Amino acid sequence: MDYVSAGVRLLTRPSSSQSPAGLGDTKETTFCNVTEDASASDPRKVFYRISLDNSLLEIQLGKTATWLPVCYEGWNSSLGTLVCRQLGYLRLTKDKGVNLTDVGPLYTDGFVQITAEHKSSLESLWQFRGSCSTGKVIALKCFECGTRAKLPRIIGGGEAPLGRWPWQVSLYYSNRHTCGGSIITSQWVVTAAHCVHNYRLPQVSSWMVYAGMVTRTTSKMAQDTGYAVEKIVYSRNYNHRSHDSDIALMKLRTPLNFSDIIRPVCLPKYNFDFPGGTQCWISGWGYTQPDNVYIPDTLKEAAVPLISTKRCNSSCMYDGEITARMLCAGYSEGKVDACQGDSGGPLVCQDEGVWRLVGVVSWGTGCAEPNHPGVYTKVAEFLGWIYDMMEKY
């Protein structure tokens, strides 16, 4: 059964020792084993980072080990925005030239400078330099995201405490919880296209977004605590049959106030894939029983490992149905399966100390079934579209 409705189940399947059916499942899983590609594919030629010590932009050209600071010559703020986006941050917050004399004798291997000639791609803009004529290098600060307040450590899955997933929102349509979503700025939320594609104007007014909560009791969902939706856009390439390009954006009429319990999640980096086996998390208010009768009041969470597309597309899993715009996560044995978080809700992975929105809960076959993990929209494939839509609207 395809699950493209609001319901997302965080289910536990009995182990094979308790269930005779489990023995057959184990055989099938072993038989279908496909080697996991444990290395992250990384076609980038240029690597960027912002030094935690002094906020300087550092660039690695090719596979050389040295990180070099960037000369101030030829710099402009629009380049800063492009670099921030390469790193998964929505926009530039601040940039400035810093005197090399203030940085100290840290950098002795040379510098990177912008080439004089106009180049079409950011990657081809940089060249090596022995010195900076102005004696200044670039410091950058990007839009903060993907962090959460200090919380007590949680062991295992279950109910999520307030503030653990501060970007998680509940999308209500006509006063009913319909889908999950993720905050990426104070006015924009990412969700799944299948959550919204039937709802065209004037029904935009029927949507409300609730943020900063884990308990979803109707009595508390007063009209004045939700955020009205101004605009809904979903990918023009969305295919409701194959679930391809299952992504949408909601713009809120009034901006969210960020706090310990309401914060944005980071987007993925350009051209970087997490390897299969990476431990990530999903969260949602979806169904907790296979018969779809009970939607929990409290936000649930579960850890799920990513599964490589090669493995997920094998004959024993989804047999070629997984496109380049999808990714899989879950357990092939099916014994403990976070089958999906709420439709439209987040699949997040931690990277360099921040949480990134790697997937959007999209579809799957059954729930907690062997060899049928959850399928998610691959957010990294839609970065250009997300930035374009936010600039357009």
Judged by DSSP in three states, 78 sits in helix
Helices (H) and strands (E) in the chain, counts: 6, 22
Nearest partner of 86 among 138, 137, 131, 50, judged by Cα: 50
- Identity of residue 21: A
What is d(CA 192, CA 246) in angstroms, rounded to the nearest whole number?
5
What is d(CA 376, CA 139) in angstroms, rounded to the nearest whole number?
36
Q: Is 194 a catalytic residue?
A: yes
The active-site residue, picked from 246, 273, 337, 342, is: 246
Question: What residues contact 233, with CB distance under 8 A and at least 6 apart?
Answer: 248, 249, 251, 389, 393
Q: 98 forms bridges with which residues in the sheet?
A: 137
Q: For residue 263, give both structure tokens.
A: 């914060």
CA distances from 38 to 59, 86, 307, 383 (A): 26, 23, 10, 24
Q: Count Cβ atoms below 10 Å from residue 224 Cβ, excluding itself.
A: 4
Q: Is 343 a catalytic residue?
A: yes
The active-site residue, picked from 25, 95, 182, 194, is: 194
What is d(CA 156, CA 136) in angstroms, rounded to the nearest whole number?
48
Q: What is the DSSP string of 114-129?
A: E-SS--SSGGGGEEEE
Q: For residue 221, give both structure tokens.
A: 């969902």
The active-site residue, picked from 25, 343, 362, 372, is: 343
Q: Is 246 a catalytic residue?
A: yes
Residues labelled catalytic: 194, 246, 343
